[in-house]
Chain A
Amino acid sequence: MSTAVVSTAGTAPTAARARDARPARRNLSRGRGPRALLGVLAVVVALVWAFPVYWMVNSSLLANVQLQSGTPTFVPFSGSLDNFTAVIQGPSFLTALRMSLAVSLLTVVAALVFAFLAALAISRFRFRGRKSFIVAVLVVQMLPAEGLFIAQYKLVGSLNLLNTVLGVSIVYTAAVVPFTLWMLRGFVAGVPIELEEAAMVDGLSRTQAFLRITLPLLAPGLVASGVYAFLQAWNEFTVALVILQSADKQTLPIWLRTFLQASGVRETDWGQVMAASTLIAVPVIVFFLIVQNKMTSGLVAGAVKG
């Protein structure tokens, strides 16, 4: 999913609103019978799609004896949280969690500050080099980690920052700034400058007007792009795999892979592995649901109307 959000400029919550407000399409096309059949089909597709997620949670609640018996247990009636306790109390989970939190938070703060200031610049000012800056940002946004990670690994190495929070955060910040900037630009452009000017006529200074009028209006945009940056850093795999090779410096995704590998040497302890996956996935799913609307809408709103 990490890549899945990179696209859609967050300019407009409009499509989301249009979706809610859309009138029922009763009179069109099909009658009642086929519609009910399609409803059944939709539920079946939904079940198939959600099955892996369900299976992760289900297996995480089951003891290894059940997981390794010949028949799968489809509902965890006899489930317990033992796997979760075992994972959390294990030697390295909390270290990896701290590492992930540190990297993600540092990335969010740095990316928001840089991107927000730059978004102000490109939407509130006309200046020489503005267009080139925008083009550069858009091109950088499309550069895949798969092509750059070797060079970034060498860069972080030459800065003596391998296996550090700072080293990996620098790379992450650079990776998320372009999209964050693009998203915030939409939000800043959505707040008319006249609002600020009106406040200044009423006696506020420019800084006050900005802090009291514009900034609160931008809060949703800042939250959405902050969550986006957080998710990117939290999920990132490729760069972390090469930069954080030391066992006690791994972020959660790398830790999970190591955990799976180590467990695979014997018979894999799938119960604990699934508990570990669940622990990593839950915060992501919660955050993702918060911002999803703002992410999908931008692209489409412009494309259809324009």
Chain B
Amino acid sequence: MTAPTREAPPSEPAPTRRRRSFTPYALIAGSVAILVLAMAYPLGWLVVTSLKEFGLTQQFGQPAEFVGLRNYITLVTDGYLWTVVVRSIVFCLVNAFATFAIGILVALLMNAVNRVPRIVLQVSMLLAWAMPVVASMTVWRWLFDWRRGVVNWLLDAAGFDGFRGHNWLLQPLSFFLVATIIVVWMSVPFVAFSVYAGLTQVSEEVLEAAQIDGANARQRLFRIILPMIRPVLAIVLLLQIIWDLRVFAQIRMLQDAGSRPSETNLLGTYIYQLGTGSSDYGMASAVSIFVLILTVALSSFYIRSLLREEES
């Protein structure tokens, strides 16, 4: 929180205008209206549609009949959905933890070096962070282009055999390796800057005291620095996990390059395929509900921490 609110007497947080009036309601009316229209209504539509038979025929005027939980039962018993779910969760966790680890290392590096290399590193991280997703994906497809891509050229020049004309995106495993490299590249800057900002607030005196008491660099890192910034680490990791569940644009743009969608679908692209591809809105809604519940469950910790901030 900012300084001014801190100095206010704790008994009276901010209730400045207590008189009963319609003013606050008038003020939030616009936000409420737009959120109800474009968020709450679609949410309701999803819930209702997921309980219906809603495929191509319904698109063309057939009434959509309620089928209860049938879509969900189909999903739960469908082997392919589970493949996609497991794939998404593994992808999400691998990416989140890789990003987290590399981000912390970069932050420690920023903290350890002199001003000039630090600024060079920060500018470079900012560039990667600022790139629009679609532009990044386009560049990475060029970097990994099977025929003229610089990655294959470098590997070939470095003496590795078999990379001339190697298509990375054909095999699912190397497809996800490329996707991981890209997602980690995009996400590390956020982790690095957040953790670095946390590191700058670790008190000098404590570290000095520990050094005088004979703690070596490793002990200072694991026993003092990391525990002190644990709240930052927890939030950053949590957000990373939530964000890595939603990698629609990245996967979609890599699939464009010619891999088989059935082998590379994650939850987002699977919903897209069910909805816009085969117009099976009932099933698409059921999977969407699953994604939403998963995200909200994961987010609840983060939301709670934001609420605590609001109350303080």
Residues on B with C-beta less than 8 A from A191 are 4
Residue of B nearest to A254 (CB): B134
Interface flag for A68 (CB, 8 Å) = yes
Q: Which residues of B contact A9 (CB under 8 A)?
A: 306, 309
Measured between beta carbons, the chain A residues less than 8 angstroms from B249 are 237-238, 253
- B136→A117 contact, CB < 8 A: no
Given A150-B285, A151-B49, A285-B130 in contact, is the A174-B296 Cβ separation under 8 Å?
no
Instruction: Tell me whether B207 is interfacial, beta carbon within 8 Å.
Output: yes
* A34-67, CB < 8 A from B: 35, 38-43, 45-47, 49-50, 52-53, 55-56, 59, 67
Known: A71-B153, A189-B2, A237-B134. Contact between A25 and B28, CB under 8 A? no
CB under 8 Å from chain A, chain B span 226-255 = 228-229, 231-232, 235, 239, 242-243, 245-246, 248-249, 252-253
Choose from B31, B124, B229 the contact partner of A181 (Cβ within 8 Å): B31
Q: Does B16 contact A (CB under 8 A)?
A: yes
**Which residue on chain B has the smallest CB distance to residue A206?**
B17
Q: Is the CB of A151 within 8 A of B46?
A: yes
Q: Does A143 sit within 8 A of B, measured CB to CB?
A: yes
CB pair A148–B288 under 8 Å, yes or no, is yes
Nearest chain-B residue to A133 (Cβ)? B28
Interface size, chain B (Cβ < 8 Å): 126
Binds A, one of B74-82, B108-116, B170-178: B108-116
Report Cα–Cα, A72/B149, bound state, in Å: 8
Q: Which B residues are CB-close (under 8 A) to A142?
A: 242, 295-296, 299, 302-303
Given the complex, which residues of B lie within 8 Å of A140, measured CB to CB?
35, 39
Chain A residues numbered 255-306 whose CB sits less than 8 Å from any CB in chain B: 256-257, 260-261, 264, 268, 270, 273-274, 276-278, 280-281, 284-285, 288-289, 292, 296-297, 299-306
Number of contacts between A and B (CB, 8 Å)?
398
Residue B51 interfacial (CB < 8 Å): no
B203 nearest in chain A by CB position: A304
- CB of B271 to closest CB in A, whole Å: 6
B306 to chain A, nearest CB (A): 6
Chain A residues near B245 (CB-CB < 8 A)? 144, 146
Q: A47 contacts which of B14, B124, B285, B306 (Cβ < 8 Å)? A: B124
Q: Are B248's CB and A146's CB within 8 A?
A: yes
Residues from chain A with Cβ under 8 Å of B69 in the complex: none
- Please determine whether B138 and A277 come into contact, CB atoms closer than 8 angstroms: yes
CB of A117 within 8 A of CB of B49, answer no
Expressed in whole angstroms, the minimum distance between the Cβ of A51 and any Cβ of chain B is 8
Q: Are A285 and B142 in contact (CB under 8 A)?
A: no
Collect the chain B residues with CB atoms within 8 Å of residue A302's CB: 1, 309, 312
B235's contact among A16, A67, A123, A299, by CB below 8 Å, is which?
A: A299
| Contact residues in B for A182 (Cβ distance below 8 Å) | 306
Instruction: Compute how far the CA of A208 lies from the CA of B19 in the bound complex, rounded to whole angstroms.
Output: 21
Q: A52 and B143: CB pair below 8 A?
A: yes
Docked CA distance A296–B191 (Å): 10
Indicate if the CB atoms of B15 and A52 lie closer than 8 Å.
Answer: no
Cβ of B298 to closest chain A Cβ, rounded Å: 8
Q: Known contacts A120-B27, A182-B306, A242-B276: does B46 contact A39 (CB below 8 Å)?
A: no
- Chain B residues 292 to 312 lying within 8 A of chain A, measured CB to CB, are 292, 295-296, 299, 302-303, 305-307, 309-310, 312
Output the least CB separation between A176 and chain B (Å).
10
B123 & A148 in contact (Cβ 8 Å cutoff): no
Across the interface, do B303 and A138 meet the contact criterion of CB distance under 8 Å? Answer: yes
- Of the four ranges (under 10, 10 to 19, 20 to 34, 35 or more), the interface on chain A belongs to 35 or more
Pair B34/A114 contact, Cβ less than 8 Å: yes
From B16, B232, B252, name the one whose CB has the most chain A CB atoms within 10 angstroms. Answer: B16
Minimal beta-carbon separation of B249 from chain A (angstroms): 4
- Contact B121–A114 (Cβ < 8 Å): no
**Selected A-B contacts with CB under 8 Å, 13 pairs:** A3-B243, A41-B109, A43-B117, A50-B123, A55-B150, A135-B303, A142-B303, A143-B39, A144-B245, A144-B291, A148-B288, A253-B132, A257-B138
A residues at B contact (CB < 8 Å) = 1-9, 11-12, 14-16, 18-19, 22-23, 25, 27-30, 35, 38-43, 45-47, 49-50, 52-53, 55-56, 59, 67-68, 71-72, 110, 113-115, 117-118, 120-127, 130, 133-140, 142-155, 170-171, 173-175, 177-178, 181-182, 185-186, 189-193, 234-235, 237-238, 241-242, 252-253, 256-257, 260-261, 264, 268, 270, 273-274, 276-278, 280-281, 284-285, 288-289, 292, 296-297, 299-306
- Nearest 9 CB-CB pairs, A to B? A151-B42, A174-B38, A121-B27, A288-B130, A46-B124, A146-B268, A142-B299, A253-B134, A125-B24
> Chain B residues in contact with chain A, CB under 8 A?
1-5, 8, 14-18, 23-25, 27-28, 30-32, 34-35, 37-39, 41-43, 45-46, 49, 106, 109-114, 116-118, 120-121, 123-136, 138-143, 145, 148, 150, 153, 185-190, 193-194, 196-198, 200-202, 204, 207-208, 211, 217, 220, 228-229, 231-232, 235, 239, 242-243, 245-246, 248-249, 252-253, 256-257, 267-268, 271-272, 275-276, 281, 284-285, 288-289, 291-292, 295-296, 299, 302-303, 305-307, 309-310, 312
Q: Given contacts A154-B42, A241-B252, A300-B198, could you give 6 more A-B pairs where the C-beta distance is less than 8 Å?
A: A6-B239, A42-B121, A50-B127, A142-B295, A170-B38, A238-B268
